[in-house]
Amino acid sequence: MAIRERLSGNEAVATAMKQINPDVVAAFPITPSTEVPQYFSQFVADGEVDTEFVAVESEHSAMSACVGASSAGARAMTATSANGLALMWEILYIAASNRSPIVLAAVNRALSGPINIHNDHSDTMGARDSGWIQLYSEDNQEAYDNLIQAVRIAEHKDVLLPVMVCLDGFIVSHSVENIELQETEKVRKFVGLYEPDEYLLNAKHPVAMGPLDLPPHYFEHKRQQAEAMRNAKKVILQVAEEYEKLTGKKYGLFEEYRMEDAEVGIVILNSSAGTAKEVVDKLRNEGIKAGLVKIRVFRPFPAQEIAKALSGLKALAVMDKADSFSAAGGPVFAEVRSALYGVNQNLDVISYIYGLGGRDVTMNDIETVYRNLIDIAKAGKVSETYNYVGVRE
C-alpha cells in the first residue's frame, strides 16, 4: 500500500536512494542538489542504510569514486548540479564507455557563466551526448519514480549504461508537494540485487577496466555503446510496465496531453509542462485544439515515436530551457525537427528559448507561443523559426 507523504524534490530523491540502499554514494555539495547527499548522509549516520558514503573533495572525484565503485561490482549513486556536472565532464564519458550503471540525480541549474544558481537545462543538455541515458521529471513524484526505475534500466544486461535523473532546481528540488512513496520492501524487491557479470574483485575472472583502447578496438566498443543506447528504449518501456503493476503509475517515453485531435502543440521538458498544461486547458475551453507533448526520455531520443505523436499537427513549437548557440534553435528543437523529417513535411516547426537563468515562465508566456502557432496554422507560413519568449529584447 502506498505511503502518502509531503516531501521536497530533493527529499523525494534521497528517500528513493534510501529505499534502494546502494552500496556506495560519493558526493560533493553544490546548490541546488546539496540536500540530496545531505539527507542521505543522515540516513547513513542513523543506520537506515548499509551504504558506504564517500565525502570527496570535488564533483570530478565524486564521479571518479562512483566509477571505481561500479568497476569493483558495487551499485553506485551520486547527485550534482550545473558546474558540478561540468567538473564531472571527463568522467561522465568514462562512466558511459566503461558501461558503468551509475545513477545520478541531476538537479538542473544554469551553467556558468555568468554565475547563476537558478534553474535552466544548460547543464544536462550540455551532457546529452556523453553516453548517459537521460530521464526528465515534471514534479517530485516523477523524480522519485524515475530514480527507482533508473536502477533497473541502468543495470539491465542489454543496457549497462549510466542514467541521470533530471529535475528542476528549486522549482522541484526545494518545493514541497504531496507524494506517494512505495513501501521500502517493495522498492528493494523491484530493484533487486546488483549482480554484475564482470567486476574487478572477481578473482575467478580477471578483467581490465578503463584500458588504453587503440584503433583496432575503439570503434567497435563505441558501436557497442551505441547499440546499448538503442536497446535502452525497449528496456525503459519494460521497466515502466513493471513499475505500473507495482504502483499504478504509468510512464512512457513521453506524455501526450490532449493530443488526440490537436492542431497546434508544443514539446517541452520538466516542470514547465505543468504550467503549459494549464494553458492547454484554457485554450481548449475557448475551442482551440491545443495539445502538448512532455518528453520524459531524452536519451535515447524517441524519434519515431515522437514523430508519430506530432504528425497530426498544423503548427508546432519546441520550447528549450537551454540555448545551443547554434543560431538555428535549441537542442530539443534540433532533435524534434530531425525526427519529423520525412514524416510530416508540411508541419511548420519553430523554436522557442525560454527561462534561462531561472527567468519565470508564466501562463501568459506560453499562451503567447500558442497564439503564434495559431497564426502560423492559419497563414501556412513561418516568419521566424528561432524565437525567444520572456526576455527583454
The beta strand positions in the chain, using DSSP E, are 3-8, 24-27, 52-55, 76-80, 103-108, 133-137, 163-168, 176-181, 254-257, 264-269, 290-295, 297-299, 315-320, 348-353, 386-388
What angle do the packed helices 272-285 and 363-379 form, to 10 degrees?
60
Read off the DSSP letter of residue 253. Answer: S
Angle 231-232-238 from CA coordinates, rounded to 5°: 100
Output the pLDDT for position 12. Answer: 98
Instruction: State pLDDT tens for residues 193-249.
Output: 999 999 999 999 999 888 899 999 999 999 999 999 999 999 999 999 999 999 999
Instruction: State pLDDT tens for residues 154-178.
Output: 999 999 999 999 999 999 999 999 9
Q: Which three cell numbers stand for residue 152?
A: 533497473
Please, are residues 190 and 152 in contact by the beta-carbon 8 Å criterion? yes
> In the block, which residue shows the cell 553516453?
131
CA 372 from centroid of its chain's CA atoms: 28
Instruction: State pLDDT tens for residues 39-55.
Output: 999 999 999 999 999 99
> For 80-90, what is the mean pLDDT?
98
Domains of the chain (ranges plus CATH)?
3-247 (3.40.50.970), 254-388 (3.40.50.920)
Is residue 59's pLDDT more than 90?
A: yes
Nearest 10 degrees: CA dihedral of 322, 328, 332, 334? -160
pTM of the model: 0.98
> In the block, which residue shows the cell 527583454?
392
User: Rounded distance, CA 339 to CA 322, Å?
Assistant: 19
Q: What percent of the chain has pLDDT over 90?
A: 96
User: Rounded distance, CA 199 to CA 179, Å?
Assistant: 37
